[in-house]
Chains A and B, each alone.
Chain A
Amino acid sequence: MSATAACPGCLGGDAATATAGPPPGMPTHALLLPTIQCLDCMRQVEATLMRQPGINAARVNLSRKRVTIAADAGADPTAWITALDAAGFEAHEARDTVRSSADNGLLLRLGVAGFAMMNVMLLSVAVWSGAADATRDLFHWVAALIAIPAALFCAQPFFHSARRSILAGHLNMDVPISLAIVLACALSLYETWTGGAHAYFDAALSLTFFLLAGRVMESRMRRVARSAAADLAALEPQRVSRVENGARVSRAIDDIAVGDTIWLTAGSRIPVDGVLTSDRAELDRSALTGESDPIEVSRGAALCAGEIALTGPVTVRASVVGENSTLRRMVNLAALAEASRTRYTALADRAARLYAPLVHGLAFAAFLGWLWISGDLHKAAMIAISTLIITCPCALGLAVPAVSTVATGRLFRLGALIKSDTALERLADIDVVFFDKTGTLSENRLDVPDTLSASDLSILKTLAGASMHPLSRSLLPQLSDVPEADLSDIEEIAGQGVAARCGNRDVRLGSGAWLGARSGTALRIGDRVIALSRSERAVPEAAALVATLKKQGLPVHLLTGDRADHASRLAGDLGVNAVHADALPADKLRLVEATQASGHHVLMVGDGLNDTLALSAAWASMAPGNALEASQNAADIVLLSGRLKAITDAMRIARSAKRRILENFGMAATYNAIAIPICLMGYATPLMAALAMSSSSVLVTLNALRVR
């Protein structure tokens, strides 16, 4: 186990001995585990879950960072999440429990193509090394027997896609691919029938095999990234406490109806639009408006989904749920703003548009030319078809998927999830970066008052360390060189704060209302109440990030709905190039569109509901993992656990990936520039086709591994 003990996810803790038993039933629940990364994590998660009552089986899937659980169908996963939390693993309820094995069909086709290719290749090698007459014909017939059904079965995905694209009136890469496979089989069958020397069965199959390999890589990577991105949306509250006959019952969010009363602890996000039924509450509206200052509201105030209740507990009566809520309306608006995104054509499609007519034209010209020169229909057809087979975009078909698979994999490990197929290519074009301020580059924290004595500071540190609330924890970095105080009876009171005893004094850290201060957060030591002020700071990585981006020659703009003085103070700390404050969502959209209209490509990074329009309109966009679901939907790339550093990594990898793709196109073009003249002169043989095809595919794949 020592080899894996360095995993920061589980700190090499003791791996319990219990293991997942045989599953007596179908999976009923799935939890997301964004932080797991090693064997010990997997074992500890499984062991922790198996100790929970009601769970029959649990199995972790490390690739997808989730665990599927077989339990009673109606069981409430909240207790399991708490248990995992206690064991040190962040866990969230996933929306779907069903394992998607959509690419199993592709894998099966890949396997069949592989085995058929190997067998046919055995026979072909015999033919190439000199089998003649009846033996050669026998080998060709056996090859036909294997190759034709195998190719018809394995190449289905290409046939379907080619048919769709022809029906839609344009050519994609699958049209020349399908044509080459079908013609190779037909020509070889004819040759076999007439006892000819050249059969291309192995070429048809290796073509299918290599291209399917590209397809499998692509779909596998996309599935992992997509499902992880969809899973992130589950960070939204899935369960809320509904007050039923005076008791609080945990319910799925979809069960909440208009008029229900919901109970929320301090720090939780309001799940539906509603009306405040508590006396008063302090709200963080930054996700909707970008304002960083908390807002105080009293009974009867209208609350929007997405706001955070800073004080608590509060009760809210739901007034709008589902499609009409503020969140959903924003999501629908964002879908309208995606026009620039859909106008972008993937590099592969652009290559196919150039390539397909060129190759088809060449083959047709060769057919006419040879017919005119030699008058031999068979020879002319043979040359035309062998041109199509040899130039078939094997390398071209692998050029993009191989690179994007490697790049997506690297980014996934760095904590960036690619949601859109063309996001990497678009990201490589970026020349301006727009940041939202609140929640993306800045965070709220409590300030340590200057007036505290050394012993008070120790008490504050110990209390803050005992609390799970993010605001309390924001005190800790400021108190790093203060010793801990000796406190007893430490207790966290939900929605209020932390209480403890220091000798014979009561000490508390928590909401002002609870401690007798007017509002905000306060510290009480004995009878003294000290108010703690709240301020906005740049997140630790922000300054370095902005500096790196500027060093790469990218202007950085700050785009915020917050007041100008807040914005410019932070902008000064970070050294950004320009600040746009007091921006409404529509202003942000206009700014992004105006910048792009002047020929720039904008990267928008934002987390709030007020950013969704700008996120959808920008050339490329990113949202941190703690952003609202609406923003994550609008963004191309989601950054897990708020790792801002991944932004520069993603841009570097995107640029490197684009270079590799272009290199691969160059290689494919060079290979064709050599192969086409040979074909046109009528010197092409099946052996040459086999060699050229495999070598170019392998070269392209190896080049893809150079993405850094």
Chain B
Amino acid sequence: MDVLLILVPCSLVLGLLALAAFVWTLRAHQYDDLEGDAMRALDEHDDAPASRH
């Protein structure tokens, strides 16, 4: 069962990484305009990442 000493922290770190990513998307206001952003993804002309204000 020694492998647990590696695997449990591993799963915790992965979970924390995902949580950090989620917090980052939240800070970047990625949930403010779900409808609009879904459409912007189809925009052919706009290759640059969307700027926010």
Contacts and interface: CB of A to CB of B under 8 A. Distances in A.
B36 A61 contact: yes
Interface string A47-79: 000000000010111111000101000000000
A59 B52 contact: yes
Given A104-B26, A108-B26, A4 B42 contact: yes
B39 A39 contact: yes
Given A26-B53, A101-B32, A3 B26 contact: no
B26 A4 contact: no
Interface string A136-150: 001000100010000
A107 B42 contact: no
A665 B15 CA distance: 35
Given A107-B26, A122-B11, A142-B8, A23 B51 contact: yes
B4 to A, nearest CB: 7
Interface string A461-494: 0000000000000000000000000000000000
Interface of B: 1, 4, 8, 11-12, 15-16, 18-19, 22-23, 26, 29, 31-36, 39-40, 42-46, 48, 50-53
Interface in A1-36: 1, 3-4, 15, 17, 19-23, 25-27
**CB-based closest 5 A-B pairs:** A62-B36, A23-B53, A39-B39, A61-B33, A111-B22
A108 B23 contact: yes
Given A15-B45, A39-B42, A59-B51, A115 B36 contact: no
Nearest to A27: B53
Interface string A93-126: 0000001010010011001100110110011000
13 contacts: A3-B42, A17-B45, A19-B48, A43-B45, A62-B33, A62-B35, A63-B33, A63-B34, A99-B29, A108-B23, A111-B26, A115-B16, A142-B12
A73 B35 CA distance: 29
Given A19-B48, A63-B32, A123-B8, 18 more contacts: A1-B44, A3-B42, A21-B51, A23-B53, A25-B53, A26-B53, A38-B39, A39-B40, A42-B36, A43-B45, A57-B53, A62-B35, A63-B33, A63-B34, A64-B33, A104-B26, A107-B31, A142-B12
Interface residues of A, number: 43
Nearest to B1: A135
B43 A43 contact: yes
Contacts of B4: 135, 138
Contacts of A19: 45-46, 48
Contact of B39 (A42, A107, A119): A42
A119 B18 CA distance: 11
A138 B51 CA distance: 46
Nearest to B29: A101
Given A39-B42, A59-B53, A122-B11, A115 B32 contact: no
A54 to B, nearest CB: 16
B36 A68 contact: no
Given A23-B51, A23-B53, A115 B44 contact: no
A4 B40 CA distance: 11
Given A15-B45, A17-B45, A42 B40 contact: yes
A19 B50 CA distance: 10
B9 to A, nearest CB: 9
Contacts of B36: 42, 60-63
Nearest to A114: B22
